[in-house]
Amino acid sequence: MAEAAVINLLANIAPFFREEVNLLSGVREEIEYIRDEFERMTAFLRVADAREESDPQLKVWVKQVRDAAHDTEDVLDKFKLHLAQRRAHGFFDFLCKTTRFVSNLKARHQMVSEVRRIKSRVVNISEGHQRYHTIYGTIEQASTRPTIVTNDWHDCRGDALLLEEAEVVGIEKPRKQLIGWLVEGSTGLNAVSVVGMGGSGKTTLVKKVYDDGTVKKHFKTHAWLTVSESFRVEDLLKDMIGQLFGEIMQPVPFGVETMNNNRLKGIVKDFLRQRRYLVVFDDVWNISTWEAIKYILPDNDCGSRVIITTRFAHLASTCCQEIDGNIHSLMPLSAEDSWTLFCKKTFRGNLCPPHLEKISVRILKRCEGLPLAIVAISGVLAAKDRSRIDEWEMLYRSLGAELDGNGKLESMKQVLSLSYNDLPYYLKICFLYLSVFPEDHQIERMRIIRFWMAEGFVNVTEGKTLEEVAEGYLSELVNRNLVQVARTTSDGRLRSCRIHDLMREIILVKAKEQNIATIVCGGDTRWPEKVRRLSIHRDSESVANSKHFSRLRSLIVFGAEDLVRISSLGGLCRGGSRHLKLLDLRGTPLETLPGEIFKLIHLKYLSLRSTPIQTIPKLIGKLENLETLDLKGTYVTELPDEILRLKKLRHLLLNHYEYGGPYPQFSGIRGFKAPCGIGSLQSLQKLSLIEADEINGNGISIVKELGRLTELRRLCIAKLRRDDGTALCSSIGKLNNLRSLNIASLEEDEILDLQSLFSAPPLLQRLYLKGRLEKLPHWITSHHSLFKVYLKWSKLRVDPLQSLQDLPNLIELQLLQEAYEGEGLCFKAGRFKRLKVLGLQRLNGLRWVKMEEGTMPRLERLYIRDCELVEEIPSGIEHITTLNLLVLGDMSGSLVSKLDPQVQDGDNWKISHIPEVTVMDSTYGYWRAKHL
C-alpha cells in the first residue's frame, strides 16, 4: 500500500513545482531530492508490498515509506493553504495580506524545517531501500508474482479433494447440472467454468463431479491440475504427463525432466488427440495462465471436456468464449444447508442445544453461506464449552480479532486474503477504502466512484474520464469476486454492491494496520497517532474529545442522529482538519453550514444529501477545488452566483420532492434555479435537476447555455416551456457525450417540443420524457443506442410501439400515467428483440394488451398497474417463456377477484409458466403472490 501513497504524492508534487516552486526559495532542492528518492523507490515498492506479510522487517520499512509520503503530502498541502490565504483580491485583501505577512513568514520557516526533517527521514529510508533491494533483487528479477502460500499456514484448499461424500452439503443440484454439461451435448471440445469467491466450494464441487462414476466411465482419460497463483508452466505440464501416462500404467517418455515447454506441450497434445478426455484446471488466476495452457487441448471431435475453476468472472467468460461451453456461478449455501453444515461440524452431526440456537444463528449469518467460513468457525466453536454462552458471544463480537489471532481461523483468513494480495496497488487501496462503509451496507456505485476520485485514488488514463476509469476499478473488484453485486439496472449495470461480512472483517484489520481509515462505532475508540480518514457509524463522545485530527483528509458520517454529539463541525475544522478533501454529512440533522467549512480549500467532495439545509451561502465560491456537490433531498431551491467560481465541479446534484400546487400528480420532484452563466462550468459531467423556466440578465433562457457543457454525461431538466423547445434541442445537439437525458415540462398540459432536434447525441442511452407530446420525436425511432425509454404524461394518441419496436438495443420500456390514450397495445411478432422490462401504469384508456407469438423473446419482468379498464391478462402472454415476474396491481375489483384464486392455485394456463406472479389491490388492502 506504500506504492499507492508514493504515487499519489508524486502526482501532487508535479503541479506544485510547475505553479508554486518560485515561492519555495530555500527548499526547492530538498523537495527535489525527496521526489527523486521516492521515484527511485517506486519500482521496488510493488515487490515490497507483496512480500511484507512474510518479512516483518520489510513490513516496518514499507510503513516508514508510507508514513513519509503522507507527511510530505501534508506539508505541501499546508503550504498551499497558506498560499491561498495570501491571494489578494482588491485593496482590502491587500491590507489583510500585509497584516498576515509575519504569520505567513513564520509558516514558511516552519515548512522549511518540516521539509528538511522529512528529507532526513527519506535519507534513512533510502538506505533500507538499498538493503532490501539487494536481498530481493531488481524489479525485473522479481516481476513474477511471488508465491503467497507459505509453510507458515495450512492451505485448506487441498482438503476439498479429500472430503467424503457425507461431509458435503448443498452441491447436489449443481453437481447434476455439471455432469449433464460434461456427458451430454456436442462432440466438439467444450469448456465448463466454475466461478466463485475464495472458499465458496469450487474445488469441492468439481472434485465430486470429477469422481462421479458416470463421468469416470464416459471419459477415457482424466487429469486434475491444481494451478494456483504461483504456478510454473513446466511443472504443470510434467504433472499432467505423469497423470496421463500413469492412468494407462505406462512410464513417462524418457527425458521429460529436461524438456522445454514446447516439447512438453507436444507430448500432452499428441496423447490427448486420440482420446476422449476430461481435464480439470483448478484455481486459475489470470488470462495469461489460460493462454499458456489452452493450446495443449486438442479438439478431437469426440466430446472431450475441460473444467476451469477460478475466482475471476471475466476469466471464466473468456474460457467459454474461446472454447464453447457453460459458466456456473457458485452461489452461497442456502440457510438450510448452512445450518446443516454448521451443526455437522460444530456438534458432530447432533442437534444444536436450544440455549445456543440464537447465538449460533447470529454467528452463522456472518458466514453468509460461505462453506469455508462455516467449517473454519465451526472448528473453533466445537472446542468451546457449550455451557458458556458468553464464550460464543465473545467470538461473535470479536470475530475480526479472532481472524487475526486464532490459529484455527488462519487458513481461512489466508484463503480469503489471496484475492486481495493478488490485486495491483491501485486496486488494493480502493478495496481497503470500502472499510469505511458499515456492515451490510449497500454501497452505491456512483458514491464510491466519487469517493475514490476525491481521495486521489483514480489514475488519469488517456481517452477516459476519471469516472470511467473508476468504474473499471469497481468492475474489476466484482470480476475478482471481492465485491458482491447487490442491485443492478435493467441493462445489467451495477447499481449497488456490498462486501462479504468476513472479507470486510479482514479489510478492517488491514485498513487499520495501514491507517487507511479509522472507524467509530460508539464506545471507546483506539486512535492512531494521525487520523487520515474518519468514518462515523454511530455517535461517540470520544470524537469530540480526540486530538488526532490535524491530518484528517476525509470525514464520513453514517446515520448520526445528533451531529453536535459527534463533534462541533466548526470546531473540528478549527482544530486542524484544514486538509479535508471529502466531507460527507448525508442524513445528518445539520441545518446550517459553519463558516469554517468554506476555508477547506482542498475539499473535492461535499455531500449534504438528505439534510434539512435550506440555503447555500455565497462562501461556497471559495471551494475552488470542489468536484462533487451533492444536495439531493435538501430544501435548497437556488444556488448563489458564486457557484460559478467552481470551475472543477463535475457533479452538481440537487433535487427534492415537493407535493401540491395546481398539478399535484405531475409536479412531484423539484430542482433548482441555476445562476446565469451556468454554461461556464464546463467540467460538469452530471447536472441534476435544473429548472428551465429561468431567464438570465440578458434575457437569454438558461437552456441556451446548456450547449456549452460539452462534457455532460447526464442532464436532468424540469419546468420546460414549449417555447424553449427549439433552444433546448439546439443545446442538446451539441452535447455529444450525453448518455442520459431527463426532461419534464412546466406543467401537465405544457407540450414538450423536441421535434427540432435533428439527431440525438450519438451515445445517448437513457431517455426520460415527462410531459405532453403531440407526437413522438422523430429522432427516437432511429437512435440505436437507446436501451431505456420512459414516457410519462405524454398523452399520445398514436400507438408509440410502432416507433419504438425496432430499436435494436431497447431493454426497458415504461409507459406511465397517461403516456398513451389508446384502447390497446399490440406487440408484434419479431419486435422488441432485446426488451427485458416492460411497465404499463395508469394508462386510463387502455383496455387490452396483445402479445403475438415471437415478440419480446427476452422479456423477464412485466408490470401492469392502475390500468382500470383492463379486464384480462394480456393475450398471448403464454408465449413469453422467459418471463419470471408478473405484477398486476390496483386494477378493477372484478379482475382482482377473478385472478386471485387462479394465481393462488396456479391453475391459469396462461401464467402457469411464470415463477412469480403478484396481484395487489389497495382497495381491499391485500396482495397475493405465487412462487413455483
For residue 827, pLDDT over 80 is answered with yes
Which sign, positive or negative, has the C-alpha torsion 890, 891, 897, 903? Answer: negative
Domain extent listing, the chain: 1-89+97-138, 158-329, 341-413, 423-511
Give the pLDDT mean for 734-741: 96
**pLDDT for residue 663:** 45
Give the pLDDT mean for 397-414: 74
Q: State which H helix or E strand residue 119 sits in.
A: helix 101-136
Nearest to 714 by CA among 750, 766, 675, 667: 766
Q: Which three cell numbers stand for residue 384?
A: 468451546
User: Quick one: pLDDT band at residue 169, thresholds 50, 70, 90?
Assistant: confident
For residue 855, pLDDT over 60 is answered with yes
Give the pLDDT mean for 138-152: 41
**pLDDT for residue 90:** 44
Give the pLDDT mean for 187-216: 92
**pLDDT for residue 126:** 81
User: Quick one: pLDDT band at residue 41, thresholds 50, 70, 90?
Assistant: confident
CA gap 119, 637 in Å, rounded:
50
DSSP state of 253: P
What type of residue is 613?
Answer: I
**pLDDT for residue 416:** 81
Relative to beta strand 686-691, strand 714-720 is parallel
Between 44 and 566, the higher pLDDT residue: 44
Task: Report how far apart the first and last C-alpha atoms of the chain are (Å, whole number).
Answer: 49
Kindly report which listed range (689-693, 755-759, 897-901) carries the lowest average pLDDT score: 897-901
CA gap 873, 888 in Å, rounded:
9
Give the pLDDT mean for 36-57: 76
CA gap 181, 166 in Å, rounded:
24
**pLDDT for residue 681:** 95
User: Quick one: pLDDT band at residue 430, thresholds 50, 70, 90?
Assistant: very high
Could you report the per-residue pLDDT of 711-737, keeping only the tens digit for each?
999 999 999 999 899 999 999 999 999
Of all residues in the chain, the percent with pLDDT exceeding 90 is: 39
DSSP state of 156: G
Instruction: Identify the CATH number of the domain defined by range 158-329.
Output: 3.40.50.300
DSSP state of 255: T
* Local structure of 606: helix, strand or coil: strand
Could you report the per-residue pLDDT of 495-548, keeping only the tens digit for each?
999 998 888 988 988 888 888 888 887 666 677 777 888 888 876 555 655 566
For residue 616, pLDDT over 90 is answered with yes
Which sign, positive or negative, has the C-alpha torsion 405, 407, 412, 413? Answer: positive
User: Quick one: pLDDT band at residue 592, thresholds 50, 70, 90?
Assistant: confident
DSSP 259-320: --HHHHHHHHHHHHHTS-EEEEEEEE--HHHHHHHGGG----SS--EEEEEES-HHHHHHHH
Could you report the per-residue pLDDT of 350-401, keeping only the tens digit for each?
889 999 999 999 889 888 888 888 888 888 888 888 888 888 888 888 777 7
For residue 167, pLDDT over 90 is answered with no
Give the pLDDT mean for 827-851: 94
What type of residue is 185?
Answer: G
Give the Cα-Cα-Cα angle 804, 805, 809 (nearest 5 degrees): 85
**pLDDT for residue 383:** 83
**pLDDT for residue 388:** 84
Count how many residues are written for the chain.
932
Maximal C-alpha separation, the chain: 96
Could you report the per-residue pLDDT of 794-807, keeping only the tens digit for each?
999 999 999 999 89
**pLDDT for residue 529:** 73
User: Quick one: pLDDT band at residue 164, thresholds 50, 70, 90?
Assistant: low
Give the pLDDT mean for 425-452: 93
CA gap 486, 498 in Å, rounded:
6
Of all residues in the chain, the percent with pLDDT exceeding 70 is: 81
**pLDDT for residue 148:** 40
Relative to beta strand 669-670, strand 656-657 is antiparallel
User: Quick one: pLDDT band at residue 422, thresholds 50, 70, 90?
Assistant: confident
**pLDDT for residue 495:** 93
CA gap 436, 508 in Å, rounded:
8
Distance of CA 738 to the CA centre of its chain: 22
* Fold exhibited by the domain 423-511: Arc Repressor Mutant, subunit A (1.10.10)
User: Quick one: pLDDT band at residue 921, thresholds 50, 70, 90?
Assistant: low
Kindly report which listed range (554-563, 632-641, 684-693, 746-755) carries the lowest average pLDDT score: 554-563
Beta pairing partners, 837: 812, 861
Q: Which three cell numbers stand for residue 675?
A: 445562476
CA gap 302, 218 in Å, rounded:
11
Between 637 and 923, the higher pLDDT residue: 637
For residue 29, pLDDT over 50 is answered with yes
User: Quick one: pLDDT band at residue 662, thresholds 50, 70, 90?
Assistant: very low
Could you report the per-residue pLDDT of 293-342, keeping only the tens digit for each?
888 899 988 999 999 999 999 899 999 888 889 999 998 899 999 999 99
User: What integer best gives the mean pLDDT of the chain?
Assistant: 82
Give the pLDDT mean for 860-874: 88
Q: Which three cell numbers stand for residue 905?
A: 392455485
For residue 883, pLDDT over 90 is answered with yes
Give the Cα-Cα-Cα angle 487, 490, 494 (nearest 5 degrees): 40
Distance of CA 542 to the CA centre of its chain: 32
User: Quick one: pLDDT band at residue 919, thresholds 50, 70, 90?
Assistant: confident
